[in-house]
Amino acid sequence: MTDFSAWTQACQARVERVLAEWLPPSDIAPKRLHEAMRYAVLGGGKRVRPLLAFAAGEVTGAAVEQVQHAAAAVELIHAYSLVHDDMPAMDDDALRRGKPTVHVEFDEATALLVGDALQSLAFEILAAQPLGGDATRQIGMIGALARACGSRGMAGGQAIDLANVGKALDLTELEFMHIHKTGALIRASVLLGAECGRLSAPDRAALDHYAKCIGLAFQIVDDVLDAEVPTATLGKTAGKDAANNKPTYVSLLGAARARELAFELRADACAALDPLGPTARRLRELADFVVERTF
């Protein structure tokens, strides 16, 4: 059994390969758009969502050759959301994954189209590959991803986030936002990976509880890092939340209590995995990775 670091590197390399294959080459028209799509997606990011998909696939005995397409799809959705979120009309950020953001490196119109086309490509991949061995189940996966990124999922969370700038939120309202903004896609990542194998109803419920907890923990740690880690280490603009007067777990709870809450959520997430035994090993390790990461 390989160690966690070797496993993540293998998964990251695998999803990178799939993404590089599916993203149209930059010598095919429209070249600038394709170049910008590759710029936005390849060679960066922790690939947390793909890692969650691969780890969940191990629980259900899924073939990694199938999970890799689900993993690529969720990463494309994540990448599109970053490109659009960074635009001047939204968070107006110039740095992402240690590089200039797409609208800075290219232009705003290209960034808009890059996001649009990456979303389409995610669904194209999910539809092009046989996943989970059953077409009806595969349609269910496509629907689950569409719901996760729509107005009652990720895009809705972004809208709630924007509406809340400068407002005093309580913890429940902040949680409501993050359940949508980051939580929905993280749940979908776990679900899609698991659905590539044989997923029983109780295992589905256990995995979903894990994913909910990990999604929130991920966001809390994001808030802590945004407040504590310098831009150079983070690869994106640090201190942004405070500068934008955005409510965060740190502004509501302080960094120490926020970190504690992330640890509690990890414990809750891992408790949900107990019935799954050793197949859930990578999910447990990922829970550690999510709360202990420093960038």
Q: Side chain identity at 158, as an amino acid letter?
A: Q
Alpha helices by DSSP H, listed for the chain, are 4-22, 31-41, 48-59, 64-85, 102-105, 108-128, 135-149, 154-164, 171-178, 184-195, 201-228, 231-234, 240-243, 249-253, 255-273, 281-292
How does 228-240 read in b/e, with b if 16+ C-beta sit within 10 Å? Answer: ebeeeebbbbbeb
What mask, x for binding a second copy by CB under 8 A, covers residues 8 to 47? ----------------x---xxx-xxx--x----------
The stretch near a second copy (CB under 8 A) out of 58-66, 131-139, 234-242, 271-279 is: 131-139
Choose, by CB under 8 A, the member of 6, 10, 63, 89 that binds a second copy.
89
CB of 227 closer than 8 Å to CB of 241: yes
Beta-carbon contacts of 61 under 8 Å, excluding residues fewer than 6 positions away, are 197, 198, 279
CB atoms within 10 A of CB 142: 16
The residue (of 11 and 188) whose beta carbon lies closer to a second copy is 188
The stretch near a second copy (CB under 8 A) out of 153-161, 214-222, 243-251, 263-271 is: 153-161
Contact positions with a second copy (CB under 8 A) in 163-182: 163, 176
The residue (of 57 and 115) whose beta carbon lies closer to a second copy is 115
What's the angle, vertex CA 76, arms to CA 74 and CA 80, rounded to 5? 120
The residue (of 153 and 247) whose beta carbon lies closer to a second copy is 153
CB of 238 closer than 8 Å to CB of 200: no
109 binds a second copy (CB under 8 A): yes
**Spatial distance between the Cα atoms of 250 and 64, rounded to a whole number of angstroms:** 38
The residue (of 103 and 259) whose beta carbon lies closer to a second copy is 103
The stretch near a second copy (CB under 8 A) out of 7-15, 52-60, 101-109, 210-218 is: 101-109
The residue (of 87 and 221) whose beta carbon lies closer to a second copy is 87
The residue (of 116 and 285) whose beta carbon lies closer to a second copy is 116
Q: Could you list the residues that contact a second copy (CB under 8 A)?
A: 24, 28-30, 32-34, 37, 80-81, 84, 87, 89-90, 107-113, 115-117, 119-121, 123-124, 126-128, 135-136, 138-140, 142-143, 145-147, 149-153, 155-156, 158-160, 162-163, 176
